[in-house]
Amino acid sequence: MPGFLSWISGLFATKQPAPPAPEARLFNPAPENPANDTPDTGPELAQHLEDHLFSWLLDAEPATLRADLSVWDEVLEELHKRLTNNRMEELPRQPMSLPMLMRALSDESTDRHRLTEIILGDPSLTDQLLQIANSPYFRTSDHAIESVDQAVFVLGVDGIRNVISAAVMRPMMAARNSREALFGQRAWRWGLTCARAAELIARTQGEDTSAHFMVGLLPSLAYITIRRELQRICRSRTATGEPEPALIRHALARYQWATCQLLANEWNLPPKYHAYLLAAERPAPRQKHTPLTDGMVIGTREVLRHAHQRNLAEEDLPKVVRLTPEQISSVRQALQKMLREGGRSTVRS
């Protein structure tokens, strides 16, 4: 993919880690360039929402996340080099069954029995798929789904695509130790909510719902990947081996989209997945917001609201996304129902 390689080379052209970006790095609303003198408050509101997200994910006060990072220069430089040279030791490799599943799901002639056979050929995927299919994020009724064939039949092709995406990624997000347990749990909940929001918005705009669901999950996987890479580097250079919240926050903000692109490249995802990620990271002036851009804003806002954290005022939401009030309301209601039922569920999600 020459275009992607050129982009990634340009991103890492400098040898030294770049300073923290002053603008929102996760949420990047394209500038409106209005004809009148009304200021565009979208970027500032988006930055505040990102700050609230990091405080929640890292379970830290905002002041803690603004701590001086000068003592971590060598760690950041090492992370930078690993990203530059594609030497991320914690970058998840492509799941073995993913290429076959993607080919089968894109082939209109594939019937549900063939799809079931492919899934059953990977026992670990089968277990994850049934667990995910019965979670509040995907369950369509009060009746439990007891087999892969039943899941394919009940959820349909689009539904099973999203369950497969979540089932493939869930083991990669599972906490390895108590220190990353809370971060991993919250990042997974955030990722699922943003992915569902992107999917819902894509449906209203006639775009690929499954592709947007998968790219909506990638930032959360990128976050756990960056955190683990930092921990690996710190373990080799410090006594504690545990990166400070401010260090994690800076690394996430600086490298989240680059890591998403590396994941998409490592997994050989189609070019349009890279395009969706790039459009969310670097929107052009007056560019139409993508489902991923707006989905992550609304998904983040609703996750923080459900967790009783500071978020984005309801009247400010239309200033950051480009959806009609009816579309915003519809997506929010679906997410709130999902989060509410997820909080009551005994199924880990």
Q: Which CATH number goes with the domain that contains 69? A: 1.10.3210
Amino acid at 207: E
Range of the domain at 275: 38-90+177-344
- What does the pLDDT read at residue 32? 59
Q: Are 325 and 246 in contact (CB under 8 A)?
A: no
99: helix, coil or strand? helix
- In a domain? residue 226: yes
Which of these, 186, 184, 187, 188, lies nearest to 175 by C-alpha position?
Answer: 184
- In a domain? residue 161: no
Query: DSSP characters for 164-215?
Result: HHHHHHHHHHS-SSGGGHHHHHHHHHHHHHHHHHHHHHHHHTTS-HHHHHHH
- In a domain? residue 264: yes
Q: What's the structural domain count of the chain?
A: 1
- In a domain? residue 96: no
Q: Are 32 and 45 in contact (CB under 8 A)?
A: no
4 pLDDT band, cuts 50/70/90, is very low
When pLDDT is averaged across residues 336-340 and rounded to a whole number, the result is: 91
Amino acid at 34: P
Which of these, 174, 131, 138, 154, lies nearest to 347 by C-alpha position?
Answer: 131
- In a domain? residue 250: yes
When pLDDT is averaged across residues 276-290 and rounded to a whole number, the result is: 82
The first and second tokens of residue 300, run together, are 């983040």
- In a domain? residue 32: no
DSSP-derived secondary structure letter, 121 = T
Q: Is the pLDDT of residue 22 over 60?
A: no
- In a domain? residue 20: no
Summarize pLDDT for 95-154 with one digit per residue, the tens: 888 888 888 887 777 788 888 888 898 888 899 999 999 988 888 777 889 999 999 888
The CA distances from residue 194 to 28, 41, 201, 219, in Å, are 15, 22, 11, 9
Distance CA 110, CA 105 (A): 7
Give me the percent of the chain exceeding a pLDDT of 70. 86
CA angle 244, 248, 251 (to 5 degrees): 140
41 pLDDT band, cuts 50/70/90, is confident
The CA distances from residue 228 to 83, 85, 89, 174, 179, in Å, are 13, 17, 9, 12, 11
Which of these, 342, 343, 334, lies nearest to 134 by C-alpha position?
Answer: 342
The CA distances from residue 219 to 10, 162, 253, in Å, are 21, 16, 11
Half-sphere exposure of residue 192, counting CA atoms within 13 Å on the CB side? 27
CA angle 270, 230, 73 (to 5 degrees): 115
